[in-house]
Chain A
Amino acid sequence: MWISSHRKAIMAKKTLLDEKEMYIILHRLACQLIENHQDFKETILIGIQPRGVFFADRLVKILREDYKIENIKLGKLDITFYRDDFRRREDPIAASSTDINFIVDNKNVVFIDDVLYSGRSVRSALTAIQAFGRPKNIELLVLIDRRFSRHLPIQPDYKGRQVDVIKDERVLVEWSENMKKDKVCIVSSESS
């Protein structure tokens, strides 16, 4: 879990999106992607490791099963070696796998991540993707956009829900694949 263990007490966990709202939002995002990318022939979806990958897998499942779109190219991109906080963190981050078996030259790339916060992960992803070619353009799709919290001039092209969350709070996205059900919560830690 990403909540560090030394935080003893979790004071409040309020639900931001329940299963039904998640269903509607995921289908809306899938439709918006279809609107802009039609048959996805020139499009590559990239889930940003680690948590964007669950979201990307789900979106692709919806596109394939509910909207019958075949031949969607999906990759996973790990940004650990491109982060700008290397050697600045107390707890080092372990790398995840990158799985991109195609060249992204002249393709429309869509980055998929669950929560957009400071924008630094996306900045790292923009650098990391260059190792796989020069995309025609890059878009950003996020489930949750924490607005007013950006450190960099990065904005999403597609967003599930925009929220205002104070600095001490964290947004936690749960997927039925790894948790019990689809849910987005805001977790605030107790401050003493």
Chain B
Amino acid sequence: MANLSVSHLLGIKNLKLDDIELIFKTAEHFKEVINRPIKKVPSLRDITIANLFFENSTRTRLSFELAEKRLSADIINFSASQSSVKKGESLIDTVNNILSMKVDIIVMRHPNEGAGDFLSRHVNARIVNAGDGAHEHPTQALLDSFSIREKLGEVRGKKIVIIGDILHSRVALSNIYALLLQGAEVKLCGPTTLIPKYITSLGVSYENSLKKALEWCDVANVLRVQHERMDIKYFPSVREYTQLFGINRELLDSLEKEIVIMHPGPINRGVELTSDVADSKQSIILNQVENGVAIRMAVIYLLAQQISRN
């Protein structure tokens, strides 16, 4: 198989295992490309991509932008703070205006869940979801699994614990779908107030004790506490959160085996991870960032491939 079963990347939920395998296989080739002296291929010379960021982002936007440039696509960038959205323009109007400039692919981050799905039904372009509210962030989950695979050989059968603010995290949901689809076991750990009520119905388990969760797992994917999304207090203080759910060197050293530490970034150093853990050999945080470009190149390449030129 050399073609995705979907026309847009809206979420991991819509993907099949074969799609993930194809994306990974393609990403491996692109990873080799981005380590060459000349890190560029001409495949997407005649494709135009619009990066629409209705919500702040640094690394995801840069990663997408770099991936698109490495594929030789023409790109336009848009961020909500400088646009007519502020003047009251609707999403469809904004996007249709952009599409009339002959854009083929839209990469969109939006604060509302389902914005990508909504757009895919109303406009004539391939949509890549770069994060929609607290729903999905598929490319992050793909690069996380790709990094686990690279480090541990495979994802199947591995035990992964996702720690922290699950409630506000699109990374958590996409990771749960991706890891379960690939045959991994997933456990969640964090303050009960930040664990969605029915999340275990997806087939994951919950553990309140960080120490027990770390003893169980092969990989700990540590999430950022998203203060900006918290309208009420979910835990008494940051200090208490750190004491109960922060990972430090002593805790890691007390475990029987060496586990892999991941974090989607940006890290609140000293809150969910101490610096000596974030910068340790066990941490693959910077590998995740490198793999992000390769994964995004693969996703965009495979979607562009479906746009017929004939």
Q: List residues of A whose CB falls within 8 A of some B CB.
A: 78, 80-83, 86-88, 91-98, 103, 127-128, 130-133
Contacts and interface: CB of A to CB of B under 8 A. Distances in A.
Contact of A98 (B1, B25, B32): B32
Given A81-B301, A92-B305, A128-B41, 15 more contacts: A80-B29, A81-B33, A81-B42, A86-B305, A87-B305, A87-B307, A88-B308, A88-B309, A92-B2, A94-B22, A94-B25, A94-B26, A131-B41, A132-B36, A133-B37
Contacts of B37: 103, 131-133
B305 A97 contact: no
20 contacts: A81-B301, A82-B41, A82-B43, A86-B43, A86-B305, A87-B305, A87-B307, A87-B309, A88-B309, A92-B2, A92-B305, A93-B2, A94-B25, A96-B29, A97-B28, A97-B29, A97-B32, A130-B38, A131-B36, A132-B38
A86 B2 CA distance: 13
Nearest to B309: A87
B107 interface: no
A83 to B, nearest CB: 8
A91 B22 CA distance: 15
A91 B43 contact: no
How extensive is the interface on chain B, given as a class? 20 to 34
B3 interface: yes
Interface in B48-84: 71
Q: Which 5 A-B pairs have the closest CB atoms?
A: A81-B41, A131-B38, A94-B2, A92-B2, A87-B309
B2 to A, nearest CB: 4
Give chain A's interface secondary structure class: loop
A70 B2 CA distance: 39
Contacts of B40: 131
Contacts of A98: 29, 32-33
B304 interface: yes
B310 interface: yes
Given A87-B308, A98-B32, A103-B37, A82 B26 contact: no
A148 B104 CA distance: 38
Contact of B42 (A88, A93, A103, A127): A127
A58 B89 CA distance: 64
Given A82-B43, A132-B36, A88 B29 contact: no
Contacts of B301: 81
A103 B37 CA distance: 8
A139 B28 CA distance: 29
Contacts of B36: 131-132
Contacts of A80: 29
